[in-house]
Structure 1
Amino acid sequence: MSQDKVSLLRDPTAGVSTSSDSRNYDSVDPPPHTENRAQISFVPRRLPQYVAALTATLSALAAGAVLGWTSPILSDLQHGKFHNISVTSDQMGWIGSFVTLGGMTMCIPTGFLCDLLGRKKTLLLLIAPFAVGWSLIIFAKSIIMLYLGRLITGMAAGASCVAAPLYTSEIAQKEIRGTLGSYFQLMVTVGIFLAYLSGKYLTSMPYTIFCACLPVVFVVLFAFQPETPAFCLRRGRYDDALKALVKLRGPCEGNESELAEIEGSLKESLESSVSFSQTFRKKANVKALVIAFALMFFQQFSGINAVILYTSDIFASAGSNLDANTAAIIVGAFQVVATFVSSLVIDKLGRKILLFTSAVVMALSSLVLAIYFTLKCRTSIDGDILHELGFIPIVSLCLFVVVFSIGLGPIPWMISSEIFTPEIKSIASSSAGTFNWFLAFLVTKFYLQVNERVGQDSTFYAFAVLSLLGGAFVYFVIPETKGKTVEQVQAELER
């Protein structure tokens, strides 16, 4: 590789000399230019990439436990069995929603931290807010300490929503980028499922301590993974970028050419950078921003966070034959399996068909659940008949989370990274993430109060209508991004 190729991004402001090539290939084991070519593979290894992505997204597993914590412990909180703190319905809404407020505050700052400190260091630093937040909850003496604990753990969860997908997208070779990109949502669902499962069999304090230990597991396992090659190149650290790529791909024939591609992409991004206001004079960028924000809106107002945080309460209200916590475990298990299936098919079936199917089927599921609550609360239907229909809430919510997990769950986050040009991707994606957490706050804070005023059936009727509108939006507005470059997607949006 020529000296000019290596030095594309070496900038005096970064403190990196451009006068000589200081690459130290001896530090890479095995060296890329070894004479023994038999030791060098022509095909990159994928297992190290899967391991790195899974360990990075253990932060999302810890975030999922934060989201799911309220469901199994809801009854204990409302009856004053947790630290002898009695919680009203309004206070319960705040306990659920402070997580989303915390997440909302961290999306944009985390983007800057990732560029300043690196993707790996930013992820490892999440242990601090996780530890502080869970400590406040475990040792809570008042409702204020519970509020603060939920707010701070929410900040950690929100930061992981930015840092973990960024890390996985930058370590993956393009053939498996969609699969690794879906791991974040998968691990969130695993974390929620673990919260449901452990909450069923542990009392409130051991259960809370179990959830608090998950971030520690993440940090211990992820600490051994490399920084992303792209970040190393942005800092002019070519040797570190090469070491990281060798660790992620193995001593592969194409490592240097892949680094050259990354350098070229970064150089093009720097050269094409324009002012923020100028970028939004283009029709394609405006349309991309509308798509990103609209998908976040339809994701949250499908009612998914209300379902996750208050699953046990929903089943208890429905009078299901199953114990409410057992029903929640079943729902969580379905969500994990569906998200895993989505990771296998998302690069084959495409984004648009999965989004459309997800929105429409979620609308039908919400409608069925709403009709059940109408029969239960607003009619004089025989109690025995209603008891026989107790399977309906479980079937409806299982179907709801399954189709959410293959479409409206992972894809809005993924599309945000596929439709924006490099010069606005960071700020646009972070803004969309902030909007998502704000909407999640509205849903989780006011769900219980709205139920009390208009009834659960009316709430789910509204979720059904909004999901159906989301399906229409996907069908008429959103382009298919599978297998397309950013330039191709932008050209389609420009029409």
Structure 2
Amino acid sequence: MNIRIVQKVKSLQWLQIIATLSGSLVKFSAGLMVGWASPSLPKLSSPESVPQLTPDEGFMVGNALNIGYCVAIPIVALTADIIGRRNGILLCAPTILLSWFLVAYVETFELLCLARFLGGIGTGYGKTVISLYTSEIATPEIRGALGAATSLMTRCGMLFIFSVGPYVSITLMALISSTFTLLMFVTFFWMPQSPYYLLQCGKVDEAQKSLELLRKKHNNIKEEFIKIQESIALKKPMKEIFKKLLCVPSNRKGLIIVFVLFVIDQFSGMSAIIMYSQTIFERAGTKIPAEICSIVTLVIQILSSCLCIIYVDRFGRRPMLIVSGLGMAFTLATLSVYFYLDFLNYDLSALTVIPLMSLVFYHMFFMIGIGSLPFIIQSELFPTDVKALAISLGGLLLAVSTVIVTKIFQVLTSYDESAAFGFFSICTFLGVIFITCFVPETKGLSLEDIQKMLCSDNDDVDSKKVKDIEPEEKDQKDQKQIVEVIKY
């Protein structure tokens, strides 16, 4: 029975998978951009380098990417519903290619900053829009897995540049990286547009053809098409979209959930721990080179992401978030106790494996839940007309939180490492409490059913109850919508 189900899913949904993987190459490029600084900045600080960067200039070059990302976010909010998801992903390719070209050949600090800034705009725009696209083309049965796969692509890009970057020149690495952007453009050019976006533009026939292409032999295309029509409101100015996002209870509730999940994501300390992982490994007494430690860490994250892809639509979002948060809180608490005992000058020479193993399990627990699932949930909780704005605001909060958490880590570790890890452990545990009480389970629900669940007055509504809609009520809604389409 299970084999038949798997074969049926494969036969019906292959185009959704191909389109997602093709578009997710922009996230692979984002991973290349993020990971570029680790092998490249040491080379740029050497006397033979042109340009030769000071430590302050190296810091500015590294963070120019984040500045570009912050600029990209409002651009997404303003243009994603105008040019469309597919076209937006394609149009970010020239900016990314220009960035890699400048990285490969410029010889001044200012142009190198410009190159990284453009890379932040291109990858920031692309990786935000691909989340919109994936949530709108995927069926509920595989939407979670496809969303986790897009997050995995970022880690794959980082792993690639960590593995190759230290052993080739900056010019060659930039040219190699640009080929992935070209591959994305060539393959994604042939993918269908989102039926949600086409309907939002009033292109009913094109939307139906796109949905038929994505579902192929699916039996409920007509029913799904009507449900999509029901979920799309008339085109509104940005001011009204802001008002709807903040004033409609279901949207406001979804926005609060997404914002808190992103705060949990960052205040679990991952960004800071990755940045200072070499120092932590050195304190653990390991003799493994820093380059190898970075590769091992990313391999663990990628393998854990694969587990997330396999099980997210089986166990659900909320259980995996809870397990992820509890595991991270425990490993961070273990690190805090270890470094506190070290601060008290206890002999821990026989226990140096504890920090290493704690970090290994920390990365594993991070990627099976808190590191991946907030991005999936973000793409599921909002109706089409406010989704681009909501995702943009979430991305902006994520970028700002990264800067804050990194600074907190620097301040706390200047006193004692145990304080930093203890702080992150407490924040993560508080996040688990929030997830348990307030984050809804969206496994197997259509985007429309998720909206009905958020609109419910009962916050503890079970996802099964959302599906149990009275047939007569559904028929009345369907008939009303058909009349409206005919009038149109």
The one-letter code matched in structure 1 to 2:192 is: P
1:237-248 aligned at under 5 Å gives the runs: 237-248=203-214
In the other structure, the counterpart of 2:268 is 302
The one-letter code matched in structure 1 to 2:428 is: S
Q: CA deviation at 1:269?
A: 9.2
Pick the aligned partner of 1:419 from 381, 385, 391.
381
Q: CA deviation at 1:146?
A: 3.0
In the alignment, structure 1 segments of 5+ residues that lack a partner are 1-40
d(CA) in 1 for partners of 2:108, 2:436: 49
d(CA) in 2 for partners of 1:312, 1:74: 15
Paired-residue identity, %: 28
Pick the aligned partner of 2:147 from 175, 181, 189.
181
Q: Give the TM-score, by structure 2 length.
A: 0.81
Q: Deviations over 1:386-415 (max 9, x none)?
A: 4x6554444222212211111111221222
In the other structure, the counterpart of 2:361 is 399
Residue 58 (1) aligns with residue 25 (2): yes
Residue 287 (1) aligns with residue 261 (2): no
In the other structure, the counterpart of 1:46 is 13
Pick the aligned partner of 2:187 from 221, 224, 229.
221
- Matched residue of 2:456: which SS? helix
Tell me, yes or no, if the aligned pair for 2:24 and 2:127 is still in contact at 8 Å.
no
Q: CA deviation at 1:492?
A: 5.5
Q: CA deviation at 1:254?
A: 4.4
- Matched residue of 1:236: which SS? coil
Q: Deviations over 1:398-449 (max 9, x none)?
A: 21221111111122122223333455333223212211112123345x3785
Choose between structure 1 and 2: higher helix proportion.
2
Question: Is the deviation greater in 178-187 or in 362-371?
Answer: 362-371
1:66-85 aligned at under 5 Å gives the runs: 66-79=33-46, 82-85=49-52
In the other structure, the counterpart of 1:152 is 118
Q: CA deviation at 1:58?
A: 1.0
Q: Deviations over 1:237-271 (max 9, x none)?
A: 3443344334323355544444333233325898x
In the other structure, the counterpart of 1:464 is 425
Q: Deviations over 1:282-336 (max 9, x none)?
A: 5544333222111111111222223344544543454422111111111111111
In the other structure, the counterpart of 1:98 is 64
The one-letter code matched in structure 2 to 1:107 is: I
Tell me, yes or no, if the aligned pair for 2:103 and 2:171 is still in contact at 8 Å.
no
The one-letter code matched in structure 1 to 2:72 is: M
Say if 1:212 and 1:493 are closer, same or farther in 2 by CA, change over 3 A: farther
Say if 1:189 and 1:254 are closer, same or farther in 2 by CA, change over 3 A: same
Say if 1:391 and 1:129 are closer, same or farther in 2 by CA, change over 3 A: farther
d(CA) in 1 for partners of 2:164, 2:351: 28
d(CA) in 1 for partners of 2:259, 2:112: 31
Instruction: State the superposition RMSD in angstroms.
Output: 3.2
The one-letter code matched in structure 1 to 2:101 is: S
d(CA) in 2 for partners of 1:360, 1:75: 36
d(CA) in 1 for partners of 2:71, 2:455: 30
Question: Is the deviation greater in 58-67 or in 210-219?
Answer: 210-219
Say if 1:232 and 1:438 are closer, same or farther in 2 by CA, change over 3 A: same
In the other structure, the counterpart of 2:453 is 488
d(CA) in 1 for partners of 2:58, 2:344: 29
Q: Give the TM-score, by structure 1 length.
A: 0.80
Tell me, yes or no, if the aligned pair for 1:71 and 1:309 is still in contact at 8 Å.
no
In the alignment, structure 2 segments of 5+ residues that lack a partner are 1-7, 461-488
Residue 474 (1) aligns with residue 440 (2): no
Q: Deviations over 1:143-201 (max 9, x none)?
A: 33333222221222221232101111121122222222222211111112212222354
- Matched residue of 2:12: which SS? coil
Say if 1:265 and 1:356 are closer, same or farther in 2 by CA, change over 3 A: same
d(CA) in 2 for partners of 1:198, 1:152: 23
In the other structure, the counterpart of 2:335 is 369
Say if 1:493 and 1:403 are closer, same or farther in 2 by CA, change over 3 A: farther
The one-letter code matched in structure 2 to 1:229 is: P
d(CA) in 1 for partners of 2:27, 2:10: 30
